[in-house]
Amino acid sequence: MKFTTTKQANKFVNVLVYGRSGIGKTRLCATAPDPLIISSESGLLSIADEDIPVIEIKDLEDLQDAYEYCKSKKAKKFKTICLDSITDLAETILSDIKENSRDGRQAYGELNEEVAKMIRKFRDLPKNTYFIAKVETYENDIGVTCYRPAMPGRTLTRDLPYFFDEVFALRAVGEDDDEKILLQTKASATWDAKDRSGKLEQGEKPNLTKIFNKIKGDKKK
């Protein structure tokens, strides 16, 4: 039997952030403590001036190699692993699976297993983890447009938030000159979000280091 404590379990933070294209999800990586980015996208121009190390992912084998590196001693200097984006990584995995499967339903079943396994592996590393997702719009039962993290396949879209303690929506709040970009940490009528720590405000400034410290109760500046 392996014992731990609630304090030890709270040593690292796992967070999923979703939002529209160009809102600043990738830029948020630069606010994390000692980040390493694992990317299947080419849209890293927004943080080109930060000189953050990046592992580029082209297929499932690359992703597995990235995980092996992250858990090795070579990655000890990195305190936060950023996956940009989990939506694109899942689509990359799906493409690999479809090449070896003629049954579409079977392909999505394999996708669910592979992505769930991959998320748990990275999430459970002894580091902070920041997962980026695209946004999906849908209509609820009364015809209101709502927003949630997007994934390929209905099952993954439904299950994704359950993998994380923190799920935030990065969005523009307010109008015209008063508009601000904030992380919404609690669910509203139209936006999915949750803060399992219970230590965050409804709207937090987009700074992962400050948010991690707030969740862990670290008062050091």
Give the residue, 220 or 103, on which the prediction is more confident. 103
Q: pLDDT for 78-118, tens place per residue?
A: 999 999 989 998 988 888 788 777 776 778 888 888 889 99
Tokens of 32: 């994390």
What is the residue whose two structure tokens read 């927004």?
Answer: 46
Position 145, amino acid: T
**Where does the pLDDT of residue 43 fall: very low under 50, low under 70, confident under 90, or very high at 90 and above?**
low
Q: Which residue has the higher pLDDT, 8 or 101?
A: 101
**pLDDT tens digit sequence for 46-90:** 676 778 999 998 888 899 999 999 999 999 999 999 999 899 989
Strand (E) positions, 158-204? Answer: 166-173, 180-184, 194-195, 203-204
- On the question of pLDDT at 121 being above 90, the answer is yes
Q: Are 37 and 54 in contact (CB under 8 A)?
A: yes
Q: Which residues of 191-214 are buried (b: 16+ CB within 10 A; e: fewer)?
A: bbbbbebeebeeebebebbebbbb
Mean pLDDT of the chain: 88
Q: Is the pLDDT of residue 18 over 60?
A: yes
Region 117-131: mean pLDDT is: 95
Residue 2 has pLDDT above 70, yes or no: no
**Joined tokens for residue 58:** 């082209």
**Banded pLDDT at 3 (limits 50, 70, 90):** low
Separation CA 149–CA 203 (nearest Å) = 18
The region that residue 143 occupies, defined by phi over 0 for left and psi between -120 and 50 for alpha, beta otherwise, is left
Q: List the beta bridge partners of residue 148.
A: 136
pLDDT band at 11 (very low <50, low <70, confident <90, very high): confident
User: According to the CATH classification, is domain 6-216 in 3.40.50?
Assistant: yes
Q: What is the mean pLDDT of residues 139-156?
A: 92
